[in-house]
Amino acid sequence: MLATLFIFLNACSSVNSVRSSNSDSIENQLTSEEIKASLVQQDETNAETARDYYNLAFNAFDQARVEAPGQRTALYSAMLENLSITDDLALQEGDLDLRNNALKLLSFAWEKEHNLAIKALDSENRIKPDLASLAIARAHIRNAIQVMPDSLKSYELLIQIDYLDDDFAEAVQTIEIIETSLVLDEIEAARISEKKAFLRSKISPNMSLKTGSSLDLPVPYKVINALLDEGNWFEAINALQAERNKKPGQKQLIRTLALVHYKIAESQFSEIIQRIEDSRTGRIRLNASEKAQLNEADSHFQQAETLFSELVLTANSFQSFERDIALFYQNGAWYFDVLRATNWLPNYSFDLRVSNYANKSITSFIRLLKEEEENLSTWNTIASLYRVIGKEAEAIEAEKKARN
């Protein structure tokens, strides 16, 4: 299994550790008589003292708890605004106990939402949560981040939710928010950087498959684009191949045909990989039909590889296709590394394929680094690929370049 998967496969254990945090002690403090003393329903127009604004904040929090998770934004905004005023006035009034209570309310609201997000993800069998549970978890964790926007713990849980929802691009965007908005120590920064590299490795080659604008294309190209829009991959292959027979050297046709074969392989690989990730042991035994499915996926993957190799030979400007090829081989290394957890191929076959694809991907990424402005995240990706094939020294060296 890909080494960097540990950042997400250990999610269940981290869930339990968060749940056993100090939320109980915070709740006990918050609901004590000392904190709730003099708490009354407060009319905002009559608010004058720090205590008045604290009551408004507490009432907004109390009301938020009975609303649906996705309907709490305005109430939490009111709570935060009133707590800010509470703190300012309490400082002027010299009421340090009230300032402390305001901080406890903020902490309690955050921890409630954070732990509710964890609860929505929890499963006795540790199998991937369903879409409804993911939606509830996402709503709660966004509330937690609204209440405490400098909480790295909540941002990392949001990344985990996006990962479980197969929304890797969104998870990368969340990491970019962390990198620009939060102050991280060296260990945190390294962990976040590794997550980012792993998530980027999960994003499929995502350049458009279309051959151009459908408004001014000849009829065959319009048909091809319509088939691609519908995800009708097999018919698209027939149409692309027929057109390519007329124009065998047309580079965009070669590229599009390669990516369509890749898309077919990806969809068939992904079904089996999902079963592996959902299994309790991280291993599954395939039946004959599942092995046949993987054989078909591999056939399309190898056809894509042949076409990409042809593209290298025919392209005048290889750089414009290099990123597709780097990502193609990167994902190939990942697929075959994860599929080791099946009885599909002998171990030596997986070793050969993973090593071959990882090295080709590394070669392409390094070529890109020579042609483009230095991209530090690319070095993290290269480090992950080195680790897949057991080259730890090279991985460490690539990580050093990512930090420079």
Instruction: For residue 37, tell me if it sits in a domain.
Output: yes
- Given a cut of 80, whether residue 164 has pLDDT beyond it is yes
Instruction: For residue 46, tell me if it sits in a domain.
Output: yes
More confident residue, 327 or 227: 327
Instruction: For residue 398, tell me if it sits in a domain.
Output: no
Residues 170, 86 within the same domain: yes
Structural domain containing residue 313: 219-372
Single-letter amino acid code for the residue at 27 = E
Instruction: For residue 388, tell me if it sits in a domain.
Output: no
- Given a cut of 80, whether residue 223 has pLDDT beyond it is no
Instruction: For residue 194, tell me if it sits in a domain.
Output: yes
Residues 254, 365 within the same domain: yes
Instruction: For residue 214, tell me if it sits in a domain.
Output: no
Residues 61, 97 within the same domain: yes
Residues 231, 357 within the same domain: yes
Give the end of a domain, one of 202, 233, 248: 202
Domain count, the chain: 2
Instruction: For residue 363, tell me if it sits in a domain.
Output: yes
Q: Span 311-316, mean pLDDT?
A: 64
Among 65-74, 250-259, 269-278, which stretch is predicted with the lowest mean pLDDT? 250-259
Residues 284, 239 within the same domain: yes
Residues 154, 31 within the same domain: yes
Q: Which pLDDT value is given to residue 43?
A: 52
Residues 232, 364 within the same domain: yes
Instruction: For residue 284, tell me if it sits in a domain.
Output: yes
Residues 144, 227 within the same domain: no
Residues 152, 243 within the same domain: no
Among 26-40, 174-188, 317-331, which stretch is predicted with the lowest mean pLDDT? 26-40
Residues 198, 223 within the same domain: no
Residues 173, 246 within the same domain: no
Residues 277, 348 within the same domain: yes
Q: Which pLDDT value is given to residue 189?
A: 86
Give the end of a domain, one of 157, 173, 202: 202
